[in-house]
Structures are given as structure tokens and as C-alpha cells.
Structure 1
Amino acid sequence: MSSQPSAVAPSAASGPTVFTLPNLLSFSRLLGVPLFLWLLLGPHADGWALAVLMLSGVTDWADGALARKLNQMSRLGALLDPVADRLYILATLVGLVLRHVIPLWLAVAIIGRDLVLACTLPALRRRGLTGLPVHYLGKAATFNLLYAFPLLLIGSQPGALGAVAKPIAWAFTIWGAGLYLWAGGLYLIQFRRVITGQAAV
């Protein structure tokens, strides 16, 4: 892995087609966000909420796999995928806080990290860049959190299954939150290198 991260510039090689199968899967993930939050906070239909969350995880894997297999990778798809991830994380954090499953400070720490990184985007765009390269640590953090959230919901239920799921859920949560904040620090270092001209563009 290079110590000089390169920024992500808009690619002319990206296909102009919007309605590809991978992009439609990403759009379906976005449409699932309000449905998931309503199921979690409205009727407290936790089983259906978990089903939506798990379906999102399957489509998250499928859209990337299909994009590579069908050679339908696009700039839109590259933008939709992390947006969907962030929205699911945000929706789940809000829902779990309002359901008193996780403490408010944990949600604030995770959401605050994304808000800090969002502040770097205008400076990058002024330099003709759409963002920074996705770090493997950030992917690992998102993976942990997206596994932690459904387990936290299961762990909040009474019974043997909830008792087994709860410690596993909190293990994923602690690791995921720690890696998420660490990855945020690495992105800020990448941002500084780009702004100061130390990183290749």
C-alpha cells in the first residue's frame, strides 16, 4: 500500500449509463432506508426491519459484484454505494438511540466523524476532485457496524437469543466504532496531503 494516497478525480472512462443493474440495486438500497426507519420506530416491527437491513447487505455485495462482472462500473455507482452505507448507518443509529438500545454519545461520535469529513469536500471539489480513496480500514469499520446493528436489535429482545446476541453485538459495535474513528483520522491525513500537494492527484 502506497504511503502517498492519490485523490479520486472524476473519470472520463466512467460509463454515462445510469440505469444499469448495479445502479438500480443501489437505488433500491436508498429506498429501503426510510422503510427501515419506519419499521423500527413506527410499528416496532423488528423482524421486518432486520429483513430490510439484511437485504440491504446482500444488495450491497451484489451491486459491486455485478458491476465488475458486467463491466458496468460507473461514477454514479461509486457515489451511490457509500451514500447508501452512510444513510443506513445514520438511520440505524437514530433508531437505536430512540429505542434506547445504544447511548446517545456513541451515535454522536460516529455521526460527528462523518460531519467532520464532509467539511473537507468543498476544498477537494475546488481542486476538481470528487473525494478521497476509500481506505481498507474504513471498509472494515463499515463492515463491523453493519453487522453490529442488526445484532444489537436482536440483543435488545428478551429471551435466550437476545442474551447470546448482545455481547457479540457490542463486540462488533466497539470494534466498528473504534475503526470508524481511526479511519476518519486517516482520511484527514490524506486530505492534508492532497491540500498541501504531498499526494499524487
Structure 2
Amino acid sequence: MSSPNVEPEASDRILTIPNVLSGVRLLLIPLFAYLLLGPRADGLALIVLLASGATDWLDGKLARALDQSSRLGALLDPLVDRLSVVTTLVTFVIRGIIPWWVAALLIGRDLLLAGTMFVYKRRSMPPPDVIYLGKAATFVLMVALPVLLGSTGDTGVATVLAPIGNALLIWGTGLYVWTGALYTYKAFTVAKAVPPSADRAARNG
């Protein structure tokens, strides 16, 4: 009976294709902000935003396809995601593309959910399973933002894109906040039902 193949340890890799793509996305963030707020080159900013979204999708696919998942990637990818989203929302508010309260709702939702992670950490539990509706909400918002940026001009295309982008933004924001409430409720029920690990250890001891 032959011994099973042993996969090489990849968790500590730094220089991987997905990590390079995450680094590129990180560099695109200040470029996007500059293009949108400096020369107001909305066309170029839209290209950068689409390129950032494409590399975000690609690095996850490549990490799985090439077996190049790493600890750095697990930290870097969501960090770049959050920085990209916050930068996009803040710059959109400054430019008047979206109202400030929409950005406040979306950013506040993420901050709240980040706080709920301590509930699971204190109980030595994994984070909750991803809600499919939450993925759908994120997808709708990621489509809405480029569409809204494309609606900033005075062309006929911009006129058509404006109501589409606003409709997507409303639906995406509603779904995003609703799923945030579901995640928060789930964390609340866990906090009530499961004592922290230290308390369980003290009782067992």
C-alpha cells in the first residue's frame, strides 16, 4: 500500500500570485482616490475600480486553483477589501455620488460585525457560516458602485445608468443592513447560550 502524497506546507508563503494581486489592489486604492478627487478623471477612476474588482475575484480563484493559500493572504485579502470599500464610499460621499448616510450604514454595519467576532473568539468558536443573502448584497453593492461612477457624466449613457445605479444601491444597502442584523442576532444568541472558554475551563477544573 503506497503512502499518501504529502502536500507541501504553503501556509507561510509570502510571494504568491494571489498575494501579489492583493498588493496590486492595495496600490490601486490611493490611485483611485486621487483620480476621483484630484483631477476628477472619472473614466480612469472607473477603470481602476473595475480592475480592482477583477483582481479581487481573480486572487481568490488562483489561491484555490494553484493551492497558494497563505496566512498572509488570509489577512491581506480581507484588509484590502475593507480599505477598498471604505475608500470608495468615502470618496463617493465627498464627490456627492452617494449620500453620507448610506456610507455610514455600510461602514457601521461592518464595524458592528467586526465587534461580534470577539463573541466567537472568546468561546473558541469559528466565525458563523456566511449567509448567502449577504453574498448577494455584497455583489449588488459591488455592481452598484461602478454603475454610479459611470453615471457622473453628462452623456446619454450616464442618464440611463443613474437610475439603475441608485436602484442597485438601495437594494444592496437594504440587504446588507438586513444580513448585518441577522449576523448580530446570531452572535447575541451564541453569547447567551455558550459561556466563554475560560468560564467553561474554570467550571470543569
Shorter chain as denominator, the TM-score bin is 0.7 to 0.9
Distance in 2 of aligned mates of 1:194 and 1:143: 28
SS of structure 2 residue aligned to 1:89:
helix
2:183 to 155, 175, 187: 187
2:145 to 149, 168, 174: 149
Distance in 2 of aligned mates of 1:127 and 1:20: 33
Change (3 A) 1:67 1:147: same
Distance in 2 of aligned mates of 1:65 and 1:156: 32
Structure 2 segments unaligned to the other structure (5+ residues): 1-8, 196-205
Cross-structure match for 2:92: 96
CA contact (8 A) 2:19 2:59 kept: yes
Alignment of 1:1-201 (within 5 A): 15-128=11-124, 131-195=127-191, 196-197=193-194
Q: 1:134: Cα distance to partner?
A: 3.1
Distance in 2 of aligned mates of 1:23 and 1:74: 8
Q: 1:87: Cα distance to partner?
A: 1.8
Greater relative CO (CA pairs within 8 A, separation 6+): 1
Structure 1 segments unaligned to the other structure (5+ residues): 1-12
Can you list the C-alpha shifts for 1:126-161, whole angstroms capped at 9, x where unaligned?
344674443322222121111111111111211201
Distance in 1 of aligned mates of 2:37 and 2:16: 33
Amino acid at match of 2:145: F
Amino acid at match of 1:15: S
Paired positions, count: 186
Indicate the larger mover: 58-67 or 24-33: 24-33
Q: Percent identity?
A: 51
Distance in 2 of aligned mates of 1:134 and 1:41: 34
Change (3 A) 1:73 1:53: same
Amino acid at match of 2:184: L
Indicate the larger mover: 115-124 or 138-147: 115-124
CA contact (8 A) 1:121 1:130 kept: no
SS of structure 1 residue aligned to 2:11:
coil
Distance in 2 of aligned mates of 1:79 and 1:36: 22
Q: If the length of structure 2 is used for normalisation, what is the TM-score?
A: 0.81
Amino acid at match of 1:102: I
Q: If the length of structure 1 is used for normalisation, what is the TM-score?
A: 0.83
Amino acid at match of 2:121: R
Distance in 1 of aligned mates of 2:78 and 2:176: 14
Distance in 2 of aligned mates of 1:97 and 1:133: 32
